[in-house]
Amino acid sequence: MVYRITLWGVLTLVLLVGPGLAPLLAARAVAAAETATSSPLTAAVVGLPDSPEGLIGGSAVIVAPGFALSLQEAFAKPVAPGERRLVILPGGVRRMATVSRIDEPSTGVLLAFDTTGLIPVALADATDLTIGSTVWTVGNSSGAIGDDGVPAISRGIVSGLYPLPEDGPPMRGRGGRILSRVAGPVFEIDAAVNDGGQGGAVLDANGRLIGLASLATARERRLGTAVPLSRLMPLMITLGRNATGVDGAFPVQLPPVQLPPAAAVRDLPPPPAGLALVAFNRLNGLGNPESTARPTKTVDQVPIYERERLERWWDRYHHDQQVLWTDSPSAALVIDPANGLLLTAAANLHGGATSGRVLLPGGVEVPFVVRAVDIPLDLALLAATGPLPLPAVVIAATGPVAGDAVAVVARHRLDAPPTRTAGHVSCTQRRLDRADIGYLQIDARANYASLGGAVVDTAGRVIGIVVKSGPESHWLINSGVTLAIDGTTIASALPALLAGTTRQKLPTLGLGLRLKEDPESPGSVIIRAIIPGTGAAVSELMVGDALVSVDGRPAISPPALSRTLLRHRPGDTVPVEVRRNGKLVIVLVELREFNG
């Protein structure tokens, strides 16, 4: 959740802007300077202005008198010592900043400028962070400061602790632009890190700086990360500061919000011991689609007239390679260790995967094959070639209710603890299709690496498995919406899976009509056929009837009709209004399941 904080008070942020600023901003500068004389400012964020290419500037944090700390990714192009940048306080007070030092391993950038009237933020040691620790991000997210003069602030938790690979590819964005080259140890957070917030403050529950926000992500995770303050110590030491703070430095007082007080660590349930890590043998390459070849040049390497075409190419490639697909290991739940049985999301089977290996500590790998899948539920049963040295995950047979607190627990590497994001149950019967199946919907952040992971309640019970965040449902990735199959539904599907039965589709729930557009009345439909054995077949509906409404809603198209029927169950009776021979007729039709 993102909040806006007041312009003045204990937290103030600074934005780097270009010289062409509106006169109104200059007028605000005078008011800002006058306010600063009577209201001490305790922190600042610095960023670049919007670039000519339309890129939103980044952020940085004042950490010592005369100095602000940021990351290279906060700038449209890498900067070097000695370069000058214009900075601006909220309200329009302008000052020049000089790039003082660069730390290549962390990509840290130290900016020097006149910070008179600004008090550096207090520092804290982030080495004792745990998954579940409360964090806040504060910065120029999506140009917040430039738009209305106040920063954006978001609360979340530490969701993961791991290193980004040193030899991994840089994180790219639209048009192939490199968003970040950060590698090495990071902590992952589910608080918002949007374009413009990179290089900004990541604060602990007490308002102390523990890291800088980054757009760098693990390809399979797609959540924001933070560069720990400990990695930026080479720059801080030159200023005589360390993670214990110094005289004159104060914690940022976070703004009041209509939420319970934030605890230092959210009481997250422990990860289930039977959460396994599996690697699939993807026969069609590395699991990446071959339909979109990698662009041979970046946008700034081609003439202007070719840039639009290349941007579209990069967008498609970036979408396929870094959003939908990954060859990283996936999560699975052990349901029968003696027989080597595991349950995961069928969406993990992309790339033609029918087999793989269970990854265990010490480099041990146990081969498995895919025994059966249930495509509607997005479930896959894996059968290992031998017993697994992991306990079984007990999946609760009783489902949660809307509003229950839950966590998404996923495993995507052996050298780091399972990641966890926190949220609540939004809906227990989210329906995507006209079928008698509802998904569990939660607002905890999930992504590709969460597929096959566990949904755990506050008592530590596994109440579901994460599904539907794969290529076929790409809109779900990093959207804040997570779908899962609850324990009751899993229990009903397991017998068929254990028997090796694969289910490709569910029967359709509907009236039993085949429709076509009415050529004489655009925007309406008529019945062209009635499916035998359905509710329509035993009703008074007739071929040639023009649909007017179904269940009281206008029947303007087949998709509109489908949306109307999503909320119904088999056996429900709905009124269908049709126009026949110039007269309106209402027919009651029972909804039944049918194939076709």
CATH of the domain at 133: 2.40.10.120
* Entry field: residues in the chain: 596
- Going from the C-alpha of 192 to that of each of 154, 198, 252, 432, the distances in angstroms are 6, 10, 18, 27
Asked whether 502 and 545 are in contact (CB, 8 A), the reply is: no
278 inside domain:
no
250 inside domain:
no
Count of other CB atoms within 10 angstroms of residue 301 = 12
Asked whether 191 and 135 are in contact (CB, 8 A), the reply is: yes
| Residue 395: closest CA among 460, 482, 330, 483 | 460
Both 313 and 399 in one domain: the answer is: no
Asked whether 269 and 405 are in contact (CB, 8 A), the reply is: no
What percentage of residues in the chain have a pLDDT greater than 90?
Answer: 33
| 48-59 pLDDT tens trace | 665 555 566 788
Both 412 and 491 in one domain: the answer is: yes
213 inside domain:
yes
248 inside domain:
no
Residue 489's pLDDT band (cuts 50, 70, 90): very high
CA distance 115 to 113: 6
Both 318 and 342 in one domain: the answer is: no
| 95-141 pLDDT tens trace | 889 999 999 999 999 999 988 777 788 888 877 789 999 999 988 77
Q: Where are the alpha helices (DSSP H) in 108-189?
A: 144-148
| Residue 218: closest CA among 435, 419, 9 | 419
Say what the pLDDT of residue 241 is.
60
pLDDT at 516 over 80: yes
202 inside domain:
yes
Question: Residue 444 has which token pair?
Answer: 């905890």
Of 498, 517, 538, which one is at a domain's C-terminal end? 498
Name the residue with tokens 């730390």.
Answer: 103
Q: Which residues does 490 contact at the CB level (< 8 Å), separation at least 6?
A: 343, 377, 379, 395, 464, 465
Both 311 and 168 in one domain: the answer is: no
CATH of the domain at 521: 2.30.42.10
Q: Structural domain of residue 564, as residue ranges?
A: 508-594
273 inside domain:
no
Say what the pLDDT of residue 237 is.
83
CA distance 358 to 303: 49
pLDDT at 285 over 80: no
Question: Residue 253 has which token pair?
Answer: 């007082």
Annotate 420-431 with b (16+ C-beta within 10 A) or e (fewer): bbbbebbebebb
Both 150 and 218 in one domain: the answer is: yes
Of 305, 324, 343, which one is at a domain's C-terminal end? 324
Both 474 and 352 in one domain: the answer is: yes
275 inside domain:
no
Both 482 and 513 in one domain: the answer is: no
Name the residue with tokens 């949306």.
Answer: 563
Q: Cα angle at 486 between 483 and 490, to 5 degrees?
A: 120
CA distance 16 to 49: 5
Both 590 and 520 in one domain: the answer is: yes
pLDDT at 10 over 60: no
Count of other CB atoms within 10 angstroms of residue 495 = 9
Count of other CB atoms within 10 angstroms of residue 242 = 14
The three-class DSSP label of residue 510 is strand
Both 513 and 471 in one domain: the answer is: no
pTM of the predicted protein model: 0.75
CA distance 573 to 553: 14
Both 524 and 557 in one domain: the answer is: yes
Both 377 and 298 in one domain: the answer is: no
**What sign does the dihedral 319-324-327-329 (CA atoms) show?**
positive
What integer is the mean pLDDT of 357-365? 95
Say what the pLDDT of residue 102 is.
96
264 inside domain:
no
| Amino acid symbol at 280 | F
CA distance 118 to 92: 15
Largest Cα span, the chain: 89
Of 195, 212, 237, which one is at a domain's C-terminal end? 237
| 301-345 pLDDT tens trace | 888 888 888 888 877 776 666 555 567 899 999 999 999 999 999
Asked whether 410 and 331 are in contact (CB, 8 A), the reply is: yes
What integer is the mean pLDDT of 482-492? 93
Question: Residue 92 has which token pair?
Answer: 């329009």
Question: Residue 218 has which token pair?
Answer: 């693990």
Both 456 and 559 in one domain: the answer is: no
Counted domains in the chain = 4
| Residue 421: closest CA among 439, 403, 446, 404 | 446
